[in-house]
């Protein structure tokens, strides 16, 4: 039995697909299932039971003896939400309860952290655990993820295996429901289909030309491959970056989305909104040496190949993973 929290969401549902591919079908899906727009994410998945997130701990206390692994992917991920109580409940306290039960019931754990913990990247993007207490996230979402990472590292008692994954800019199928929090590739596709043009933020940093701002974009299929590796590996507990390891420009992203649609690029530049301009990240790139050092050898999908697969096989076809 494998538990996936956030099961109806973007990464959680893709992870269940990966587990099903590996013939793990005794899946317990934990989420708030009230959003009908998430329902297609799980429509084709082999799941044993769905458990509402608010009764999950009672369920786990009754069924822990059957549980082999927990992937805690569920979280409030809205970077524009500023109600810290929501993040404290869903991202911090909820995660602590899972952590304590993984210790109590001897269950290995992989949980979702975030590259939002790195803030403006003043200390770089190395998953060196000694630096985590010094990180300065830019919003309450990043604060909540960093708070739990710090808390986990401070604990004397830990699950016999655990890993926190700092997801960078994840994109791919099953993010249709995410609206403004969907990936830039998703928004680029919609914008190009509707107008034939793509709008990118103008640079307000003299070190970067317009459209040359850079991010580490990682395909969701790579993310779930790493999750699967850790489930089988179960050694070398700690906090790991999970990006592609290669920063790419927004111009690259736009050009490749046009190309996947068979169109010539038509890119327009607009000013970055003043209210986010001082918190805008111009560069992120995951140092992936740590996960490589414990034996993860698969190559990460290039931005070109990831966008082609996503646009051609999912977005254009309106299909789910």
Annotated catalytic residue: which of 96, 158, 178, 246? Answer: 178
Annotated catalytic residue: which of 94, 111, 141, 314? Answer: 141
53 annotated as a binding-site residue: yes
169 annotated as a binding-site residue: yes
Identify the residue whose tokens are 């068979």: 262
178 annotated as a binding-site residue: yes
How many CB atoms within 10 Å of residue 57?
16
Tell me how far apart the alpha carbons of residues 22 and 304 are, in angstroms, rounded to a whole number: 27
Tell me how far apart the alpha carbons of residues 79 and 106 are, in angstroms, rounded to a whole number: 33
By three-state DSSP, how is residue 271 classified?
coil
Q: Where are the alpha helices (DSSP H) in the chain?
A: 10-21, 39-42, 56-63, 84-87, 94-104, 140-154, 184-195, 220-233, 250-260, 274-277, 289-293, 303-310
Tell me how far apart the alpha carbons of residues 202 and 301 are, in angstroms, rounded to a whole number: 27
Identify the residue whose tokens are 């992917």: 73
145 annotated as a binding-site residue: yes
Closest CA to 211 of 155, 153, 252, 182: 252
13 annotated as a binding-site residue: no
75 annotated as a binding-site residue: yes
Inter-helix orientation angle 10-21/220-233, to 10°: 60
State how far Cα 132 lies from the chain centre.
18
Decide if 240 is catalytic.
Answer: no
57 annotated as a binding-site residue: no
83 annotated as a binding-site residue: no
220 annotated as a binding-site residue: no
201 annotated as a binding-site residue: yes
204 annotated as a binding-site residue: yes
245 annotated as a binding-site residue: no
Burial 184-203 (b: 16+ CB within 10 A, else e): bbbbbbebbeeeeebebbeb
38 annotated as a binding-site residue: yes
Decide if 141 is catalytic.
Answer: yes
311 annotated as a binding-site residue: no
217 annotated as a binding-site residue: no
Which residues have a catalytic role annotated? 141, 178
> Annotated binding site for NADP(+): which residue ranges?
10-11, 31-32, 38, 53, 73-77, 145, 170, 178
> Annotated binding site: which residue ranges?
10-11, 31-32, 38, 53, 73-77, 145, 169-170, 178, 180, 187, 201-204, 215, 280
> Annotated binding site for substrate: which residue ranges?
169, 180, 187, 201-204, 215, 280
């Amino acid at each position: 039995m494998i538990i996936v929290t956030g099961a109806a969401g973007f990464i959680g549902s893709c992870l269940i697909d990966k587990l099903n591919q590996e013939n793990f079908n005794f899946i317990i899906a934990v989420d708030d299932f009230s959003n009908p727009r998430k329902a297609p994410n799980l429509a084709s998945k082999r799941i044993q039971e769905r458990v509402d997130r608010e009764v999950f701990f009672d369920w786990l206390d009754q069924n822990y003896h059957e549980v082999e692994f927990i992937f805690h992917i569920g979280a409030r991920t809205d970077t524009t939400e500023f109600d810290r109580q929501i993040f404290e409940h869903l991202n911090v306290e909820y995660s602590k309860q899972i952590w304590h039960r993984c210790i109590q019931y001897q269950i290995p754990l992989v949980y979702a952290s975030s590259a939002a913990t790195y803030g403006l990247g003043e200390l770089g993007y190395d998953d060196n655990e000694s630096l985590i207490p010094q990180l300065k996230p830019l919003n309450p979402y990043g604060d909540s993820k960093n708070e739990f990472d710090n808390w986990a590292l401070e604990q004397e008692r830990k699950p016999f295996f655990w890993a926190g994954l700092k997801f960078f800019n994840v994109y791919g199928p099953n993010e249709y429901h995410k609206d403004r929090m969907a990936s830039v590739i998703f928004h680029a596709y919609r914008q190009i289909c509707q107008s034939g043009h793509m709008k990118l933020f103008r640079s307000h940093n003299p070190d970067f030309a317009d459209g040359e701002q850079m991010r580490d974009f990682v395909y969701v299929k790579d993310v779930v491959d790493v999750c699967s590796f850790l489930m089988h590996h179960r050694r070398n507990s700690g906090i790991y970056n999970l990006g592609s390891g290669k920063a790419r420009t927004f111009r690259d992203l736009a050009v490749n989305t046009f190309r996947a649609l068979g169109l010539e690029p038509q890119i327009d530049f607009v000013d970055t909104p003043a209210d986010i301009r001082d918190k805008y990240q111009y560069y992120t790139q995951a140092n992936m040496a740590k996960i490589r050092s414990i034996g993860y050898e698969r190559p990460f999908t290039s931005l070109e190949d990831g966008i082609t697969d996503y646009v051609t096989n999912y977005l254009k076809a309106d299909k789910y993973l």
